[in-house]
Structure 1
Amino acid sequence: MRKDIDNIFFENSPRIQELARKCEENNTIDKELYTKYEVKRGLRDLNGKGVLAGLTNISDVCAKKVVNGEEVPCAGSLYYRGYNIKDIVKGFLDAKHPGFEETAYLLLFGELPSAQELKDFQVMLAERRRLPPNFFRDVIMKAPSQDMMNNISRCILQLYSYDHKADDTTIPNVLRQSLNLISQFPMLMVYGYHAYNYRQGEDLFIYAPNPALSAAENILMMLREDRKYTKLEARILDMALVLHMDHGGGNNSTFTTHVVTSSGTDTYSTIAAAMSSLKGPKHGGANVKVTQMFEDMKNTLTDWTDEQQIRKYLEDLLDKKAFDRKGLIYGMGHAIYSISDPRADIFKRFVKQLAREKGHQDEYALYEKVEHMAPEIIGEKRRMYKGVNANVDFYSGLVYSMLDLPPALYTPIFAAARIVGWSAHRLEELTNVDKIIRPAYRPLAPYRSYVKLEDR
């Protein structure tokens, strides 16, 4: 009986495959029609520029400048509330204090905090790191998933049940909920990971967050059985959280936040929807793909320094002969940046330092070679409307692996940072717009007369 149920629910039977072919046949749209009707596929024009769908004060992604009245590509820049991300990172590194809390304050409230405001905000976040009573036992330990993004999303939706003002969408209440989720996210992530491993037969150790530690320090402390981490490890993870915190209103998960918020729904449903978007391998899940691709590359190459071997492997990737046969070099290219991704530029400076501390210089050298060779090879094999460069995911996977973070948490760590941006954008949408987002789709199916069952 159990096998019969499994066949029904979990296997693609011949009948399912037959119906799937029918789905494909009746859902396929001629690609030329998108051009004919001037449809902006992916909400982008033929040059890759996004369709203007809203206004925001929160962040700006700049990859072009105007020269003699024309837009030309330039080195990429990222601004949080008007501040260049490179200046923000330099500021907290020079001051030798964590940047996550300071940058979160900036994105949420629109201005850099004073020393006292930052201290008060750090205390506020620390006070909110506790999960509701018995939440670990009743929610996290029940049916833990191997996919941490799904697991965390389920936990976020469950937190709705513990909030007696869950559906209140006034700004003070949504801010309260946002601060709670920002603070609690590391626990949902780390505890969910430990719970799944426990179900797989490993030891279970659960540490309470330390209010004296930063968000990055708490993640490392709670994740490791011995609770130990180096200052460099904490500094680089903290910087990763800052770099991933926001990226304009048009990135897929943030746009999802705007769309779902515009429906008037609750904060928990909104953040769970953003999580679902970020999980995709074309968005936040790309860092996992980069790591997997490099593992396959390292196992394929006999000499990591041989540029001919590296070139052949990259060509095989594009020709769908290597790795997952999708024709992609993961970590290369970005929807907006064509010359450089400022986040990758910042990351790269510290990746080399971490590689020396961890003894991964050979691996770092391979990444550097791929970074330099891939754009040329892509240019030879693809017709490109803009340049190709290494994006933030290219180096973040390497950073996380050198930090000994489990691959299952690579995308959740991205989410632990981006939840700040989602919260800021949700608050901005609620403050300024009272209209549900509903773009148009042109119907193509001809109108038909209904045919009675006996006549079909």
Structure 2
Amino acid sequence: MVDERFDELLHTLCADYRVHNNLNLEARTNSNIKRGLRNDDGTGVMVGCTAVGNVLGYTIEDGERVPMPGRLIYRGYDLSDLVDGYIREQRFGFPEVAYLLLFGHLPDQEQYDMFKRLLHDFTDLPQNFTEDMILKNPSHNVMNKLGRSVLALYSCDPDPDSLSVENMMRQSIELIARFPVIAAYAYVVKRHYFDNDSLYLHRPEPELSTAENFLRMIRPDKHFTQEEARLLDLCLVCHAEHGGGNNSTFTCRSVSSTGTDTYSAIAAAVGSLKGPKHGGANRQVLAQFSLIKQTVRDWKDDDAVADCVGRILRRELGDGSGLIYGMGHAVYTLSDPRTVILRKSARTLAAQRGMLDELELMEAVERVTPRVFAEITGHEKVMCANVDMYSGLIYQMLDIPPDLFTPLFAVARITGWCAHRMEEVLTGGRLYRPAYKSLTRHREYIPMAARTYRKNPLPAEKRD
């Protein structure tokens, strides 16, 4: 009876909310408001400086944006050069890139080996942490558990609030090392409690890389191939950093500008990344791709693919959003460098796993979408596939479940978050405090007995 009364009351109260909280859209759009912190031409509002990374997708000539092949820069180094370098020298790239982002320079062999040892040494979670935080409090969402665990680590830190370089660096290295373990354990516990699967917890091995250990921890038999591990390592490298303007990194910097502790800032970034418009986008790509596979009979027929894409854009098919998930980016125009790298590397594994047709269908969607978009909207728009278009398919080929798609993003991006947090604390110097245009108007106070705009929140038969 209480639940029924509350549902009735909640429905009435929310209807009341909608009446009294309807913003005047005309007043909002006619003001100099940068919605989403975007300028009218789609570029981001400049709010600060960073030496950690850069995202390049166009040039400005005579005040106009000119498309260009995308480039992603880590501490001055082109991502493609970093990838080519460590692949050519036959080592895993994630420790090297994490070191580069944190310290600002590439490690020599001694520094590389030392940093790998540190990452392993810090994989051990605090005493009883696995039992008390992960096993006893399972969550059906791994990102939720990751964020909660980050906040809980504050209580285990002997010096959680110090903003010295040494303390923040220690915390950063610990978090980079522990994120894969927390994500893997949270997943296997979720499977046990919510999916009725067996429970297994595998400890990370000191001689293995982050990618190798992650695959080992999430698989019951601990088995993985070197090809799988190197492709996952490549995914981690490509997701490690993306400039200061992406939502989760900006969230981390904004929260850090208050002077708060590392754990609070990183937990806020985790919450941002969880959103389907940010880190959760690759799951939406796969869901929509599954629909396209079912709808298009001949995957080799670009016209059939274009027809399906058109139905989605016209909101006749799919979730009604009218969006082709995985297509388009706020900065990249002609290409997303991460997509170029991952698509090329995925082809060999796709052929081995019998998924080359799926990969080529995805490429067809990428190929026809700009043309179909122009035909339907009447607007020519230079667009490319972003990294979410192919990362989900790669994880699928690696037998990584969708529950771990976004957590893997966090396992990689924690490196960029920590680098940006330290930069913000040490060089930012100002609290982030943007403004909002107020649409309120002055109203005279009304005595209780004279208020007639809302009566009887519950029907008479439901009231006591």
TM-score, length-scaled by structure 1: 0.95
Deviation of 1:8 (Å): 7.5
In 1, Cα distance between the equivalents of 2:432 and 2:5? 38
Q: Give the partner amino acid of 2:124.
A: R
Q: Alignment partner for residue 87 of structure 1, among 81, 85, 106?
A: 81
Q: More deviation in 23-32 or 440-449? A: 23-32
In 1, Cα distance between the equivalents of 2:152 and 2:161? 13
Q: Give the partner amino acid of 1:188.
A: I
CA pair 141-65 structure 1, distance change in 2 beyond 3 A = same
Alignment match, 1:230: 225
In 2, Cα distance between the equivalents of 1:270 and 1:25? 36
Alignment of 1:112-261 (within 5 A): 112-199=106-193, 200-261=195-256
Q: Give the partner amino acid of 2:191.
A: N
CA pair 28-275 structure 1, distance change in 2 beyond 3 A = same
Q: 1:257-280 CA distances to partner (integer Å, 9 max, x unpaired)?
A: 011001111111111100110011
Q: Alignment partner for residue 364 of structure 1, among 356, 359, 368?
A: 359
2:311 is equivalent to residue 279 of structure 1: no
Q: More deviation in 264-273 or 253-262? A: 264-273
Q: 1:280-304 CA distances to partner (integer Å, 9 max, x unpaired)?
A: 1111100010011111222233332
2:364 is equivalent to residue 395 of structure 1: no
In 1, Cα distance between the equivalents of 2:27 and 2:413? 36
2:432 is equivalent to residue 440 of structure 1: no
CA pair 343-223 structure 1, distance change in 2 beyond 3 A = same
2:30 is equivalent to residue 36 of structure 1: yes
**The residue matched to 1:370 in structure 2 has which SS?**
helix
RMSD, aligned α-carbons: 1.7
> Which consecutive residues of structure 2, in runs of 5 or more, have no partner in the other structure?
452-464
Q: 1:56-93 CA distances to partner (integer Å, 9 max, x unpaired)?
A: 00000111225578541111111001111110110111
CA pair 8-410 structure 1, distance change in 2 beyond 3 A = farther
CA pair 413-384 structure 1, distance change in 2 beyond 3 A = farther
2:10 is equivalent to residue 22 of structure 1: no
Contact 2:38–2:44 (CA under 8 A) maintained in structure 1:
yes
In 2, Cα distance between the equivalents of 1:279 and 1:151? 11
Q: Give the partner amino acid of 2:13.
A: L
Q: More deviation in 168-177 or 244-253? A: 168-177
Deviation of 1:156 (Å): 1.0
**The residue matched to 2:56 in structure 1 has which SS?**
strand
Deviation of 1:227 (Å): 1.3
2:303 is equivalent to residue 308 of structure 1: yes
Q: Give the partner amino acid of 1:303.
A: D
Contact 2:75–2:100 (CA under 8 A) maintained in structure 1:
yes
In 2, Cα distance between the equivalents of 1:359 and 1:273? 40
Q: Give the partner amino acid of 1:372.
A: R
CA pair 43-8 structure 1, distance change in 2 beyond 3 A = farther
Count of matched residue pairs = 450
In 2, Cα distance between the equivalents of 1:8 and 1:136? 40
CA pair 219-300 structure 1, distance change in 2 beyond 3 A = same
Q: Give the partner amino acid of 2:69.
A: A
2:35 is equivalent to residue 45 of structure 1: no
**The residue matched to 1:72 in structure 2 has which SS?**
strand
Alignment match, 2:96: 102
Contact 1:61–1:78 (CA under 8 A) maintained in structure 2:
yes
CA pair 252-139 structure 1, distance change in 2 beyond 3 A = same
Q: 1:85-108 CA distances to partner (integer Å, 9 max, x unpaired)?
A: 110110111011000000001110
Q: Give the partner amino acid of 2:160.
A: A
Deviation of 1:377 (Å): 1.2
Q: Give the partner amino acid of 1:187.
A: V
In 1, Cα distance between the equivalents of 2:80 and 2:389? 18
Contact 1:128–1:184 (CA under 8 A) maintained in structure 2:
yes
Alignment match, 1:449: 444
Alignment match, 2:332: 337
Q: Give the partner amino acid of 1:132.
A: P
Q: More deviation in 366-375 or 378-387? A: 378-387
In 1, Cα distance between the equivalents of 2:216 and 2:383? 37
In 2, Cα distance between the equivalents of 1:384 and 1:140? 50
Q: 1:311-351 CA distances to partner (integer Å, 9 max, x unpaired)?
A: 22211211222221111110000011111111111111011
In 2, Cα distance between the equivalents of 1:64 and 1:146? 40
Contact 1:58–1:248 (CA under 8 A) maintained in structure 2:
yes
Q: 1:381-431 CA distances to partner (integer Å, 9 max, x unpaired)?
A: 236584211000000010000000010000000010000000000000011
Contact 1:34–1:40 (CA under 8 A) maintained in structure 2:
no
In 2, Cα distance between the equivalents of 1:312 and 1:424? 45
Contact 2:24–2:439 (CA under 8 A) maintained in structure 1:
no
Q: More deviation in 186-195 or 379-388? A: 379-388
In 2, Cα distance between the equivalents of 1:149 and 1:204? 19
In 1, Cα distance between the equivalents of 2:20 and 2:383? 35
Alignment of 1:373-388 (within 5 A): 373-382=368-377, 384=379, 386-388=381-383
Alignment match, 1:298: 293
> Which consecutive residues of structure 1, in runs of 5 or more, have no partner in the other structure?
none
Q: Give the partner amino acid of 1:129.
A: T
TM-score, length-scaled by structure 2: 0.93
Deviation of 1:364 (Å): 1.0
CA pair 53-351 structure 1, distance change in 2 beyond 3 A = same
Contact 1:171–1:430 (CA under 8 A) maintained in structure 2:
no
In 2, Cα distance between the equivalents of 1:78 and 1:451? 58
Q: Give the partner amino acid of 1:126.
A: H
**The residue matched to 2:400 in structure 1 has which SS?**
coil
Deviation of 1:305 (Å): 2.6
In 1, Cα distance between the equivalents of 2:48 and 2:350? 41
Deviation of 1:167 (Å): 1.8
In 2, Cα distance between the equivalents of 1:122 and 1:77? 28
